[in-house]
């Protein structure tokens, strides 16, 4: 039953990532217009104002804009154009979109310093040279399917609300240096081995996934974010992260250690799942988790004992693996279900006491291969109903136990503040 529980968590988490990385994200970006503090409005004559946008399919179309210091409206570059250059234009008050130009090898627009909307490059299968050295302010960067682009061509983009970079040949993200963003999503760039950013806040979501050889990731200036998700990374450094408004998760990584000594609050889920090289975690200043707390299928991890200040978990707790040391000394309240299922010698007695005192409100299961209890007796597994109803008798270490449902279906008081809490309620009801 617990294996099914774990697989559901992995499936749900993966689905959440897909929603971030596909066209739903593109639609979000395309609707986003930036408020850029460094933008100085340039007067736009009527000849450079395009209510319905301006489309260029040849260099001659772009040459027609040479007298425009700024363009009011969206600018599109597409078609069979082989190279493209925009001269003199300093600002685009709208989107700059280069798409489906499959013969385009070079794009240059070094005079442009501001794009208030989206800078989108998509489906440019032969683009290998990009030069946008003057760009400092842009509403959103949306680059997808650029299999021959090796350099960003940017020097100092310091303002940008949303970033999506996917399926490129970029070896670095040099020149992309915003301080605050709403969305940051870098995925499936096979030559990108290091991702380092000075971003200080992410108000929507931060996602890094499946880049080259499990990229080394450093966001050491990041202080808070709404959501953080890492898939298949080799290392993570976030030296100043103090709070995550919603959820933070680490999935299928090559990370050996996760040290978040400045993190004090996670408003949603904290998840570490399927990280085969993970041996050490440190969250000793974390005080509360507002959703689920999941540590599962981390084959080398033996200890969950650096949560000295963790007092409350609002959702479900799921801890599985070869865990010999599980210690949550400050834990006072778990509103959702609690499941510790260890192949190691974890001690269940502190959690038995927490449950018996009514401080674990959801369904309860604690099982370890063998462990001495606080009284010195051999350890046992215990499973009870959510409302403290009939208990099963204690069983020998490693044996199965099921909760009694009494005269009818048990009443479950799982808090549905997270996906893990909801899944826990369904699965525990099947016992």
Ranges of each domain in the chain: 32-178, 191-431
Instruction: Give me the pLDDT at residue 13, please.
Output: 37
Phi-psi label, residue 192: left if phi above 0, alpha if psi -120 to 50, beta otherwise = beta
Long-range contacts of 202-211 (CB under 8 A, 24+ apart): 202/226, 202/227, 202/228, 204/162, 205/20, 205/229, 207/17, 207/20, 207/21, 207/231, 208/233, 209/17, 209/21, 209/233, 211/186, 211/187
Beta strands in 104-213 (DSSP E): 106-108, 114-122, 129-131, 137-146, 159-168, 180-187, 194-196, 201-209
**pLDDT mean over 335-350:** 94
The pLDDT of residue 1 is above 70: no
DSSP string, 20-74: HHSHHHHHHHHT-----TT-------GGGB-TT-EEESSHHHHHTTTT-SEEES-
Angle separating helix axes 23-30 and 2-21, nearest 10 degrees: 40
- Residue 10: its pLDDT value, please? 36
Residue 193: per-residue pLDDT: 97
The stretch 8-23 carries a mean pLDDT of: 36
Supply φ then ψ for residue 144, to 5 degrees: -140, 135
Q: What pLDDT score does 41 carry?
A: 81
**Cβ contacts of 272-280, under 8 Å, gap ≥ 24:** 272/296, 272/298, 272/301, 273/6, 273/9, 273/10, 273/13, 273/249, 273/297, 273/298, 274/10, 274/298, 275/250, 275/251, 275/301, 276/300, 277/253, 278/250, 278/253, 280/256
Mean pLDDT for the stretch of residues 335-341? 97
**pLDDT tens for each residue of 258-309:** 999 999 999 999 999 999 999 999 999 999 999 999 999 999 999 999 999 9
Query: For residue 375, how many other CB atoms are within 10 A of its CB?
Result: 6
pLDDT value of residue 381: 61
The predicted pLDDT at position 42 comes to: 86
Higher pLDDT, 147 or 16: 147
Across the range 245-262, mean pLDDT stands at 97
Q: Residue 373: what pLDDT?
A: 45
Q: What are the start-end ranges of the E strands in 220-379?
A: 224-225, 228-231, 235-237, 243-244, 248-251, 257-259, 265-266, 270-273, 280-282, 288-289, 293-296, 303-304, 312-313, 317-321, 325-326, 333-334, 338-342, 364-368
Is the pLDDT at 174 greater than 70? The verdict is yes
Alpha helix locations (H) across 178-259?
none
C-beta separation of 152 from 169 below 8 A: no
Could you identify the residue written with the tokens 């403290």? 388
């Amino acid at each position: 039953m617990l294996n099914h529980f774990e697989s559901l968590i992995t499936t749900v988490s993966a689905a959440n990532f897909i929603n971030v990385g596909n066209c739903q994200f593109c639609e979000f970006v395309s609707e986003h217009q930036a408020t850029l503090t460094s933008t100085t409005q340039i007067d736009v004559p009527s000849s450079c104002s395009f209510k319905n946008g301006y489309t260029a399919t040849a260099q001659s179309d772009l040459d027609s804009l040479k007298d425009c210091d700024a363009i009011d409206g969206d600018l599109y570059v597409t078609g069979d154009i082989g190279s493209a250059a925009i001269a003199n234009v300093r600002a685009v008050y709208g989107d700059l979109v280069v798409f489906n130009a499959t013969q385009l090898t070079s794009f240059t627009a070094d005079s442009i310093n501001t794009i208030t909307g989206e800078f989108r490059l998509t489906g440019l299968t032969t683009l290998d040279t990009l030069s946008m050295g003057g760009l400092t302010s842009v509403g959103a960067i949306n680059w997808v399917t650029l299999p021959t682009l090796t350099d960003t061509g940017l020097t100092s983009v310091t303002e940008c609300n949303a970033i999506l970079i996917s399926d490129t040949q970029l070896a670095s993200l040099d020149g992309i240096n915003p301080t605050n963003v709403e969305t940051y999503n870098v995925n499936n760039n096979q030559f990108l081995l290091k991702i380092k950013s000075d971003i200080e806040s992410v108000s929507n979501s931060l996602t890094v996934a499946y880049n080259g050889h499990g990229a080394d990731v450093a966001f050491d200036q990041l202080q808070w974010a709404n959501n953080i998700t890492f898939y298949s990374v080799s290392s993570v450094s976030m030296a100043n992260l103090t709070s995550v408004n919603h959820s933070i998760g680490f999935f299928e990584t090559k990370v050996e250690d996760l040290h978040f000594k400045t993190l004090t609050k996670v408003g949603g889920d904290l998840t570490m799942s399927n990280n085969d090289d993970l041996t050490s975690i440190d969250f000793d200043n974390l005080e509360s988790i507002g959703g689920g707390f999941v540590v599962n299928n981390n084959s080398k991890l033996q200890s969950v004992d650096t949560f000295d200040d963790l007092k409350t978990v609002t959702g479900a707790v799921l801890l599985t693996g070869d865990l010999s040391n599980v210690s949550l000394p400050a834990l006072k309240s778990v509103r959702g279900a609690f499941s510790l299922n260890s192949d190691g010698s974890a001690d269940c007695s502190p959690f038995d006491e927490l449950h018996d005192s009514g401080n674990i409100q959801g369904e309860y299961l604690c099982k370890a291969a063998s462990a001495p209890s606080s009284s010195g007796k051999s350890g046992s597994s215990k499973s009870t109903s959510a409302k403290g109803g009939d208990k099963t008798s204690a069983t020998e270490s490693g044996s199965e136990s099921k909760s009694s449902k009494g005269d009818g279906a048990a009443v479950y008081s799982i808090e549905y503040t997270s996906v893990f809490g909801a899944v826990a309620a369904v699965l525990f009801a099947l016992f």
